[in-house]
A and B are shown apart, each in its own frame.
Chain A
Amino acid sequence: MSFFNAAILIGLVAVAIPPIIHLLNRRRYDVIDWGAMQFLQISEITRRRLLIEELLLMLLRMGLIAILVFAVAAPYTDRWIPDINGRPSRDIVLVVDGSASMSFGAPGESAQKKAIDWAERFMQELHAGDTVAVIVARRDPILLVPKLTPDLEGVRKKLHGDLPPLTGGCDWPAAVKAAQRILADGQGGKRDIILLGDSQKFGLVDQTTMKGWKTTAERVQDGPPPSLWVVNVDAGRPEKAPNWSVKELVPTRNLVAVNEKVVFRSALQLNGMDEYKRPHKMKVRVNDEDVLTLDEQHEGRVDGGQVPVEFSYKFAKPGSYLVSLIVEPDPPEKERKAGYKLKDLLPADNRTDFVIEVVEAVPIVLVDGSDPDAKKRPSDFLRDNLSPAKDDTPAFLVHVVSSREFDSRHLKAGLKDVRGRILEAPRVLILANVPSLNSDQKRIVEQFVKDGGGLLVALGDKCEPESWNKLATTTGLLPAQLVHVAGEDKLEGAARPVLGGFVHPALEMFRNLKIGGLDTAWFGRWWRLTPVKSDDTVIISRLTRDEVPFLIEKKYGEGRVIVCATPLDNSWRTNLTDLVSYVPLLQELTYYLGVMRRGEMNVALDRQLLYRIPADASNEGYQLQGPLDPKPKPLTPGAIDVPEVYSARIVQYPHYNVLVHEGLNEPGVWKLITPDKQTVHYVVQGDLREFDLTPMGKEDKEKLREIVPVSFEDKPELLYEKLPEKNDFQEFWWILLLGVVVLLCGEVWFTRKIVRGRA
């Protein structure tokens, strides 16, 4: 015997009420000075009779309370109570897989369609009085029919009309918890949760999901657990199902200047096929407009099931661009010849997106620490290479200032381009051979980096270690301490960057550069650096001499700092400035440091949306459109997430505010529409494992059974027959209630009898 509302049993303490009242009455009595004491003396027999009467009455009342509490606690048993109702009414929650993998199948024969068809047939078998609720399992379960209803026609309509698009993965344990909550309100004698999916291993028994199942199993529930069925509606799916999917799109840089070529790389993952045949079409879209067709690429190249895809593109205007790579392995249905064999049965994974930021030019302030009167200054060298004088539209806009003159104005004011236009304030600050920073300069540099700026410190012979080391130890801005200048300033014994270390995004391109690569550079002298121990500090490149650090990076506030152990010019003996990779190195480092200002726009699931708003701009009037939203919804600071509105909050910084929306919980493209109707794209990368269609094996099923009691059914048409007809349990609170009535009558009768006897 168990109880649905076991917590009510705490009410059994009420059994103590009759004795307590008795004792209280004995404690609270009247006092009377009495003369006729001789008549109060009663016989022992009478005394015993009265005691027994009193005791019986008290036991009767205690029993009455106890049985009432038991009845309210809703006891049930599966043993000795006969089933008086015949077939029990059944409460069923259908949980339909809403993940992308359910789109698998030829047009009109998707796994989701099969699930809906099965649900319809199943509901036809149900009896009057049976109730159904429907949940769509996604990362956040959607309650399609949120309450158990006997209106099966209504459920049918919902299944046909209101199912969301199939994207992303699904959280089965969360969906089962939601189903349990729905069943808690049910009245049926039999309760079932039926998971309608494709038995995909990922989502059911992967490591993260198994943790979820454990919490589901540990959850304290009232009443017996409902029966849990996992039904594979697409049991006929071939083990090696033909499927094309597009891997993540990776550009060479996240920030790029207009008309600057940026290279994007991706790959086609080919599953369930031995031979690679070119897709019907592969195209590139920018902001949802076709811009490139990649028909001619990669004929016949198959490498470990993956076909690399690479394309480049130049953006003509600054802004936030959504770049999409879409593959169509098969021609449209109309164009297919008779007997055409489909190459791809899962279209949901045929697209990948990336958001790239394009700027007019990357504004840079270059602080030169050398003598302002010197004929040749390091800053000239850097400026000429980043922003050549002959270039009318340089990718970088460099403003040079001597270290003595450098102050806050240089970091706040927008920079002028060659055409006299004022662009945005600097994104990157380069300190080239600066001896030291005064206190004001330290403060403004710190604030600049904290606010998302990039700082590149190129050390040189003028640098004063004591001053720079203070910056490393006190504020933590500098990721390394300067020890001493090493090297003999000659080729012999010079240090070279270690080739194997070029894994950093800014150095990745130098890995395959055969001629004039960064690894061929040599440095006659260098600063020996000791990295500051911190989780945010990382050595991104080393020199061959003792593997001393060459480039050290640190994340500081919202920005980044990179310290280079050598000057980035030829003031010390080096061949770096003569190499092909010199300018790319400067550019990549600058792009890498400059991208932080805007905030990440290619984010993982459940991360935040961050958008920087100038301090003087309004925080109101923003709209957000999620991947499943038919139209944008207001993004309102302080609001609660409701179907009509997205919530947001404003984080205030000295020079700007950041609009934060928590929980980008749907993979795909999110669009932020600013008050001036500009669209900023955010791409939420889904879990690519969702497209791994490997089904659960026997071992996986056993593993799951160890955690939760579950039955697997690969022949869905047989499920209805397998559902037990008998009640899992029988509630017998009504028997106890009858007992309460009987005891109540007994109590009244006995009390009246006693009272009459006393009269």
Chain B
Amino acid sequence: MPASIHFDPTSLAKYGRLALVARQLVEGFLTGVHKSPYKGFSVEFAEHRQYYPGDEIRHIDWRAFGKTDRYFIKEYEEETNLKAHLLVDASGSMAYKGKTASKFEYAQYIAASLAYLMLHQRDAVGLALHDTKVRAMLPPKANSKHLLQILRILQEAKPGGETSMAPLWHRMADQITRRGLVIVLSDCFDDLPGLVRAIKHFRHRRHEMMLFHILAPEEIEFPFKRWTQFRNLEVAGHKLLVDPQQLRKEYRKNFDAFCKELRAQVGQAQVDYYQLRTDDPVDKALGIYLTRRHHQR
């Protein structure tokens, strides 16, 4: 087994539900991928240990068996130099909550899980929480205390304020000098050209980018039937009374066009775009992340 960062459950418990969810998610996920193609990557041999029934036979060091006539399992040590930045959108629009968790809660889980996973794999991970302003920013580090800091910040954050990410991302692209992986968790409800330019700015700085486009199913399907007053989550007092049935077609046309355009634009910038619905399991994001890492190797 590869060596991993040890998280004290008691200290994790201080960070409440989010920490527990992240741990559960990651450990469950890693157990689930026991037979997955991701095994053995990014790690180097560390030491032997005695074989116990249940260990995979392929990890048995047959050389050692030839010498000692006893079964030993090879254990590996991780080796990484990845610096990842989690950019979490905490704008008002992320507070939308339909029948599932809110988009921000969903982003919290993903961010926490990814941070946990990365640190588990001894990658350095940083966090930037923002709406129009940066609310909190942690530089990438690879120790367990750092995870606790990340979780605390995520835990305490509440979505609010307008979304105007482009200027902010430009600034951040300038600030993050060392090349790394930038993971964006956002609904991207912003001016699309500006947003794309900011993403390209990151790419210009030779950052790898993953864009998790987080959306609620209701935003995609627009299933409302009765007359509804939509109150803007970002601009106080802005509301619209409409018959959703009348508007559905027009809305979905606008929405699909936006998503399609976003996907195309960021694709052109060689940014990995993933659309996540809040009713998708959170570990889907983990899978995406690990697959991408595997392909990078």
Contact = CB atoms under 8 A, between A and B. Distances in A.
Nearest to A53: B246
B224 interface: yes
A50 B231 contact: no
A35 B93 contact: yes
B234 A39 contact: no
B94 A36 contact: no
B247 interface: yes
Interface residues of B, number: 35
Nearest to A29: B227
Contacts of B289: none
B92 A50 contact: no
A128 interface: no
Interface stretch (A451-459, A523-531, A751-759): A751-759
Interface stretch (B113-121, B237-245, B280-288): B237-245
Contacts of A38: 189, 254
Contacts of A39: 251, 254-255, 258
Given A25-B226, A26-B241, A755-B245, A35 B251 contact: no
Most buried by B among A31, A38, A54, A757: A38
Contacts of A30: 224, 226-229
Contacts of B231: 31-34
A617 interface: no
Contact of B94 (A25, A35, A37, A758): A35
A493 B235 CA distance: 123
B240 A29 contact: no
B238 A37 contact: yes
A109 to B, nearest CB: 84
A46 B228 contact: no
B187 interface: yes
B240 A37 contact: yes
Interface in A262-283: none
Contacts of A40: 230, 240, 242, 247, 251
B219 interface: yes
B233 interface: yes
B228 A29 contact: yes
A29 B247 contact: no
A42 interface: yes
Contacts of A28: 226-227
B229 A32 contact: yes
Contacts of A53: 246
Interface in A1-36: 25-26, 28-36
Contacts of A758: 245-249
A31 B219 contact: no
A29 B231 CA distance: 12
B227 A25 contact: yes
Interface in A173-194: none
Contacts of B229: 29-32
Nearest to A43: B250
B96 A34 contact: yes
Interface string B82-101: 00000000001111100000
B24 interface: no
A54 B246 CA distance: 9
Given A36-B255, A759-B249, A29 B241 contact: yes
B63 to A, nearest CB: 59
A50 B247 CA distance: 9
B232 interface: yes
Interface residues of A, number: 26
Contacts of A25: 226-227, 243
Contacts of A26: 227, 241
A30 B228 CA distance: 5
B248 A32 contact: no
Q: Which secondary structure dominates chain B's binding surface?
A: mixed
Contacts of A46: 250
A35 B190 CA distance: 11
Contacts of A33: 95-96, 231, 233
Interface in A39-59: 39-43, 46, 50, 53-54
Contacts of B103: 35
Contacts of B258: 39
Contacts of B230: 32, 34, 37, 40
B129 to A, nearest CB: 17
A31 B247 CA distance: 16
A759 to B, nearest CB: 7
A318 B241 CA distance: 99
A621 B158 CA distance: 98
A720 to B, nearest CB: 65
Contacts of B93: 35-36
A757 B249 contact: yes
Most buried by B among A33, A53, A755: A33
Contacts of B238: 37
A146 B238 CA distance: 74
Nearest to B230: A34
B228 A759 contact: no
Interface string B200-241: 000000000000000000010000101111111111001011
Contacts of B240: 37, 40
A35 B254 contact: no
A32 to B, nearest CB: 6
A42 B96 contact: no
Contact of B247 (A35, A42, A759): A42
A632 B64 CA distance: 134
Most buried by B among A26, A32, A46: A32
Contacts of A42: 247, 250-251
Contacts of B187: 35-36
Contacts of A37: 230, 232, 234-235, 238, 240
Contacts of B243: 25
B163 to A, nearest CB: 8
Contacts of B248: 758-759
Nearest to A40: B240
Contacts of B94: 35
Interface in A728-759: 755, 757-759
A25 B243 CA distance: 9
Contacts of A759: 248-249
Nearest to B93: A35
A61 to B, nearest CB: 16
A46 to B, nearest CB: 5
A50 B246 contact: yes
Most buried by B among A37, A43, A46, A759: A37
A36 B248 CA distance: 13
Contacts of B246: 50, 53-54, 758
Contact of A35 (B189, B228, B241, B250): B189
B250 A31 contact: no
Contacts of A36: 93, 96, 187, 189, 219, 255
Contacts of B232: 34, 37
Nearest to A54: B246
Contacts of A54: 246
A50 B189 CA distance: 26
Nearest to A50: B246
A20 B172 CA distance: 55
A32 B219 contact: no
Given A25-B226, A29-B227, A30-B226, A35 B245 contact: no
Contacts of B245: 755, 758
A434 B120 CA distance: 139
A34 B97 CA distance: 9
Contacts of A29: 226-229, 241
11 contacts: A30-B226, A30-B228, A32-B224, A34-B232, A35-B103, A36-B93, A36-B187, A36-B219, A37-B232, A41-B254, A758-B245
Given A30-B227, A32-B229, A54-B246, 8 more contacts: A28-B226, A32-B224, A34-B231, A34-B232, A35-B96, A36-B187, A39-B254, A40-B230
Closest A-B pairs by Cβ, 5 of them: A35-B93, A29-B227, A34-B230, A35-B96, A39-B254
Interface of A: 25-26, 28-43, 46, 50, 53-54, 755, 757-759
